[in-house]
Structure 1
Amino acid sequence: MQNLVKLELKRVSLKSHFISLLAANVVITLLSAFTSSLLSADGGVAVTGLPPAQLDTLTLATMLVRAMLIVWEAVLISAFIVEEYRSKTINLLFTYPVQRGKLIAVKIILICGIMLLFHGLSGIFQYACLSFISQYFPFVTTSPANLMTQAITALSAVLLGLLPLYIGMIKKSTIATIVSSFALAAIVSNSQGSSAGLMSIPIAAIVFGMIGAGFSAITVRKMVSSDLSN
């Protein structure tokens, strides 16, 4: 298993992903702070007619990070799995003396591991940066985070992020995989159930995670039993 993980890691430049993650988090930090300044009643850039911010800046940043990483996960799924099936290069991997199910499981475990790491690093980055900025700009606000809730939400978001695999494998399309992730990101960021997005509700997050895990299990089962010549 460890050798298979190392083999998969050679196919992706994690360094470039970490640099991109840093850049994306910087943009989200600045965007969240700027949005808070617009919505705050006593912010530096007040807009007439807009109500006071309903979300603290950290919660807004967390919601944006969550949506971003759901799309990011779809990109990894496309690169690691869907594109290999589309181009049939997966055939070479299946010539290894390893069960097909195990090979696919390694890919999914690796993707989930990377995304959990990204969620953790992004959460730390946003909390540290916004806590620092809030010392100088009163419209930037943070609230104490419940680590258990954050962990459940992150894990559920990663599992839900596997749902585009099911959609992408129907037509073996990377475009369908990524487009479906944008739809998912919009759904979980919906403020009807909570101003911080549906994924901020632990029960809803667990349900979403179970849905993602269920559809990914169905997809893996089909992938294991499918005829690669089709």
Structure 2
Amino acid sequence: MMHLIRLELKKGGFTSYLWGSLLAYAIIACFIMVLYFTGNNLGAEGFQNYEDALNAINTFVLATFIIYASVLLSKLIINEFKDKTIHLLFAYPINRKKLILAKLSIVFFWTFVNVVLANLLIDVLFITINQIFGYVSGTLTITLLVHHAIYVLLQAFGAAGMSLLSLVLGLRKKSAAFTVATSIFIVMIVCSSNGNFNLASIIAVPLSLAVLGILITYLSFRNIDRVDVD
């Protein structure tokens, strides 16, 4: 399995996606800084406390990497079914399920790691900036950080599993555009805020969608060894 994953990483040219992730970190960080400074200097509604700020960062990170995952899924799976290059891969003496699982594992762990790492880096940046300017009041406690760390890990799993929902729908159309559009629709429903509330903040929602995404993906590929690929 690890050999297949390494081959997929080498074939996929994932260096460009690494740079893409770093760029996404920078854009999210800049957007958070804009909200931080304009919300307090221009009288707009800024972050009320540390918990509010950290949750906002997590929401932007989730939205970004759920959509990013759909791009990876399009490259690794959707386009291969669309262009029928998957026929060539299936012609090799490799278990089809293992091949698909290797591709899915890359996207799942890529999304999980990026959500965790982006939260970590941007949270540290935000806390450091606030230590200098002090616009966000309140005390940053160890208890808050521990609870937030657990929350982010659960959200990262939720985002990684949830991203698979766009694959299932995109595969029916064999369309990369439809896959990305589906992920954007999911983000709009789960991450859109009404005040300080969004569905993603209810941890059961992303976790349930993650389980649903994993289950539907399994059902979609469970017979891949025994059926002809269109």
Q: TM-score, normalised by structure 1?
A: 0.87
Partner letter of residue 75 of structure 1? V
Is the counterpart of residue 29 in structure 1 residue 29 in structure 2?
yes
Q: Whole-Å Cα distance in 2 between the matches of residues 100 and 60 of structure 1? A: 40
C-alpha displacement of 1:58: 2.5
Q: Which stretch of structure 1 is more off in the superposition, 133-142 or 76-85?
A: 133-142
2:169 corresponds in structure 1 to 167
Q: Whole-Å Cα distance in 1 between the matches of residues 137 and 182 of structure 2? A: 32
| Equivalent residues, number | 222
Partner letter of residue 201 of structure 2? S
Equivalences for residues 135-154 of structure 1 within 5 A: 135-140=131-136, 144-145=144-145, 146=147, 147-154=149-156
Equivalences for residues 45-60 of structure 1 within 5 A: 45-47=42-44, 51=45, 53=47, 56-60=52-56
- Gaps in structure 2 of 5+ consecutive residues: none
1:132 corresponds in structure 2 to 128
Q: Whole-Å Cα distance in 1 between the matches of residues 164 and 201 of structure 2? A: 19
Question: Secondary structure at the residue paired with 2:132?
Answer: coil
Partner letter of residue 31 of structure 2? L
C-alpha displacement of 1:203: 1.7
Partner letter of residue 172 of structure 2? I
- Gaps in structure 1 of 5+ consecutive residues: none
Bigger proportion of residues as helix? 2
Residues 158-186 of structure 1 deviation map (CA, whole Å, 9 limit, x = unaligned) = 10000011111111111110000000111
Q: Whole-Å Cα distance in 2 between the matches of residues 122 and 206 of structure 1? A: 19
1:100 corresponds in structure 2 to 96
Identical counterparts, % of pairs: 27
Q: Whole-Å Cα distance in 1 between the matches of residues 7 and 93 of structure 2? A: 14
Q: Whole-Å Cα distance in 1 between the matches of residues 162 and 137 of structure 2? A: 29
Residues 51-96 of structure 1 deviation map (CA, whole Å, 9 limit, x = unaligned) = 5546733321211110000000000000000000000001111112
Q: Whole-Å Cα distance in 2 between the matches of residues 200 and 37 of structure 1? A: 24
User: CA, structure 1 residues 224+156, in 2 after alignment: closer, same or farther (shift >3 Å)?
Assistant: farther
User: CA, structure 1 residues 84+201, in 2 after alignment: closer, same or farther (shift >3 Å)?
Assistant: same
User: CA, structure 1 residues 199+187, in 2 after alignment: closer, same or farther (shift >3 Å)?
Assistant: same
The one of 99, 115, 119 equivalent to 2:115 is 119
The one of 165, 184, 187 equivalent to 2:186 is 184
Q: Whole-Å Cα distance in 2 between the matches of residues 79 and 156 of structure 1? A: 22
Equivalences for residues 60-71 of structure 1 within 5 A: 60-71=56-67
C-alpha displacement of 1:141: 6.8
Equivalent residues of 1:36, 1:56 under 8 A apart: no
User: CA, structure 1 residues 178+53, in 2 after alignment: closer, same or farther (shift >3 Å)?
Assistant: same
Q: Whole-Å Cα distance in 1 between the matches of residues 156 and 59 of structure 2? A: 11
User: CA, structure 1 residues 36+223, in 2 after alignment: closer, same or farther (shift >3 Å)?
Assistant: farther
Question: Secondary structure at the residue paired with 2:91?
Answer: coil
Q: Which stretch of structure 1 is more off in the superposition, 161-170 or 111-120?
A: 111-120
C-alpha displacement of 1:215: 1.8
Is the counterpart of residue 110 in structure 1 residue 98 in structure 2?
no
Q: Which stretch of structure 1 is more off in the superposition, 25-34 or 68-77?
A: 25-34
C-alpha displacement of 1:138: 2.5
Q: Whole-Å Cα distance in 2 between the matches of residues 30 and 141 of structure 1? A: 21
Q: Whole-Å Cα distance in 1 between the matches of residues 210 and 115 of structure 2? A: 15
C-alpha displacement of 1:224: 4.5
Partner letter of residue 183 of structure 1? F
Q: TM-score, normalised by structure 2?
A: 0.87
RMSD (Å), alpha carbons: 2.1
Q: Whole-Å Cα distance in 1 between the matches of residues 115 and 81 of structure 2? A: 28
